[in-house]
């Protein structure tokens, strides 16, 4: 076979693969993007209703009974959530049931309507995985070896669509499976799925919270930073240690609470009932509702929120720790949602507190914590660095990268996803061959 023939054969094979995956992934991205748009709209309505009717919080234990019943009777096989999707990618065969998508949407909206402290990433990722698994079973040109790639694309689409960060969505899907290894074989499907889902969400009229870090920009400029400041790089690294430890604490407390509920409460439906009662008790104990729901914004200008944490005085010294406690009880007892937005809250409020202690710009440290705590808890430093660029702009990317990498190295090998595998330990200079 001549070199020219080999080149033509290879290009034809590449073209065939592109056509195959485009025909699969573009419809998947549209489907997931539409589902995520419906979820975000529903979540916004539920949050608004909770603010308008504060008495709904007192029904949280009853809502927990509903979530527990739905999860036990209709969703026992999908109760593992994100971990089920990761396991299905690691070990193709069992598949991800299509019913995961509507079930997780309904139970997450119930959680937020009545005041549970949870996020949205887990729901979007599980919706993406459920829709991807259901779609893949009905596409004739796919075989069982293609299923992991389709599921990864569903994860990317859900993540990219829910946060409006399509490039980070692609990298997150490639990075989250195993610590220290990227799944480059799925890079094109994940990129196409994430971009398509984000575009579809936007086409449905869904908007995302804008963030901006202005304190380090030269006066009158919104484009470029002056040369990197070595002192700020050191502070970013020091902050990364604190953020990594906070991410590690979040994962440890959430897993510990979940294990305690499973060990002490045999009947699954009863766990979120008790968890809901504990959350209500914590609200009374702390005398604040700041740590309920997503915590992104609030109609109360004095409330602690993610957006408020970018301003001086926007958080209390213990806000980040209180959010860990509220979220661990909510998720650990069996309510549904995600961990990532609470991690944003933990990082932004901890950054606000560190800025108060050090005298550094508040928005700068809040933005570092926003992404770095997530990087440490999820073991995804590259995705979080790119997310910083998509959310805050690229002017501070070097500082965000330093904080995310240091947080990743500091957080250990246990994260919020139990099914995440260890490929390469985090010790510097340590390769897999010597593990």
Query: Of 261, 265, 241, nearest to 253 (Cα)?
Result: 261
Domain 230-434 CATH superfamily: Clc chloride channel (1.10.3080.10)
Contact 21, 189 (CB under 8 A): yes
The percent of residues in the chain predicted with pLDDT above 70, rounded, is 89
53 pLDDT tier (thresholds 50, 70, 90): very high
CATH topology match: 7-203 vs 230-434: yes
From first CA to last CA, the distance across the chain in angstroms is: 43
pTM over 0.75: yes
Pick the range with the lowest mean pLDDT from 141-155, 210-224, 384-398.
210-224
Domain boundaries, the chain: 7-203, 230-434
* Vertex 150: Cα angle to 145 and 154 (nearest 5): 155
The per-residue pLDDT for range 111-162, each reduced to its tens digit, is: 999 999 999 988 888 888 888 888 878 788 787 788 889 999 999 999 999 9
Give 95-115 pLDDT, tens digit per residue.
667 777 888 899 999 999 999
The region that residue 241 occupies, defined by phi over 0 for left and psi between -120 and 50 for alpha, beta otherwise, is alpha
Q: Is the pLDDT of residue 8 over 90?
A: no
pLDDT in the model for residue 199: 97
Average pLDDT, the chain: 89
Identify the CATH class of 7-203.
mainly alpha
pLDDT tier at 434 (50, 70, 90 boundaries)? very low
Q: Is the Cβ–Cβ distance between 181 and 422 less than 8 Å?
A: no
pLDDT digits (tens, 9 = 90+) for 295-353: 999 999 999 999 999 999 999 999 999 999 999 999 999 999 889 999 999 999 999 99
Q: What is the DSSP letter of 421?
A: E
Higher-confidence position of 128 and 57 = 57
pLDDT at 431 over 80: no
Q: How far is residue 385 from each of residues 169, 171, 246, 382, 392, measured CA to CA in Å? A: 12, 10, 18, 5, 10
Taking the C-alpha atoms of residue 390 and residue 402, their distance in angstroms, rounded to an integer, is 17
CA dihedral sign of residues 38, 44, 50, 53: negative
Q: What is the DSSP string of 147-190?
A: HHHHHHHHHHHHHHHHHT-HHHHHHHHHHSSEETB--GGGHHHH
201 falls in which pLDDT band (50, 70, 90)? very high
pLDDT digits (tens, 9 = 90+) for 256-295: 999 999 999 999 999 999 999 999 999 999 999 999 999 9
Least confident span in 129-133, 225-229, 233-237: 225-229
Model confidence at 7: pLDDT above 80? no
């Amino acid at each position: 076979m001549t070199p020219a023939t080999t080149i033509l054969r290879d290009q034809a094979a590449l073209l065939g693969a592109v056509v195959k995956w485009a025909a699969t992934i573009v419809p998947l991205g549209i489907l997931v993007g539409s589902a995520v748009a419906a979820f975000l709209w529903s979540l916004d309505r539920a949050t608004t209703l909770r603010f308008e009717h504060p008495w709904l919080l007192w029904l949280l234990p009853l809502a927990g009974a509903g979530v527990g019943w739905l999860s036990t009777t209709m969703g026992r096989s999908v109760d593992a959530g994100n971990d089920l999707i990761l396991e299905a990618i690691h070990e193709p065969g069992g598949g991800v049931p299509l019913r995961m998508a509507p079930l997780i949407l309904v139970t997450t909206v119930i959680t937020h309507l009545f005041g549970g402290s949870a996020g949205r990433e887990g729901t979007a990722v599980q919706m993406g995985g459920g829709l991807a698994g259901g779609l893949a079973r009905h596409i004739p040109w796919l075989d069982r070896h293609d299923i992991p790639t389709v599921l990864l694309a569903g994860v990317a689409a859900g993540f990219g669509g829910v946060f409006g960060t399509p490039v980070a969505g692609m990298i997150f899907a490639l990075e989250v499976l195993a610590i220290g290894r990227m799944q480059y074989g799925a890079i094109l499907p994940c990129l196409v799925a994430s971009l398509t889902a984000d575009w579809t969400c936007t086409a449905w009229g869904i908007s995302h919270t804008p963030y901006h870090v202005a304190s380090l920009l030269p006066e009158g400029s919104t484009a470029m930073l002056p040369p990197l400041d070595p002192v700020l790089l050191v502070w970013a690294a020091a902050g990364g240690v604190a953020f990594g430890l906070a991410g590690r604490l979040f994962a440890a407390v959430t897993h510990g609470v979940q294990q305690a509920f499973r060990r002490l409460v045999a009947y699954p439906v009863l766990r979120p009932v008790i968890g809901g009662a504990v959350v209500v008790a914590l609200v009374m104990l702390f005398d604040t509702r700041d740590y309920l729901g997503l915590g992104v914004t609030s109609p109360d200008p004095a409330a602690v929120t993610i957006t408020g944490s970018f301003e001086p005085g926007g958080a209390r010294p213990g806000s980040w720790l209180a959010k860990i406690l509220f979220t661990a009880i909510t998720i650990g007892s069996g309510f549904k949602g995600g961990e990532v937005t609470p991690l944003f809250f933990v990082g932004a409020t901890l950054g606000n507190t560190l800025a108060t202690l050090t005298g550094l710009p508040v928005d700068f440290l809040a933005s570092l914590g926003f992404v770095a705590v997530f990087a440490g808890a999820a073991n995804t430093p590259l995705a979080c660095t790119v997310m910083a660029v998509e959310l805050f702009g690229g002017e501070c990317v070097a500082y965000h990268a330093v904080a995310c990498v240091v947080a990743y190295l500091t957080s250990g090998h246990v994260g919020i996803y139990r099914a995440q595998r260890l490929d390469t330990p985090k010790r510097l200079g340590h390769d897999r061959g010597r593990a």
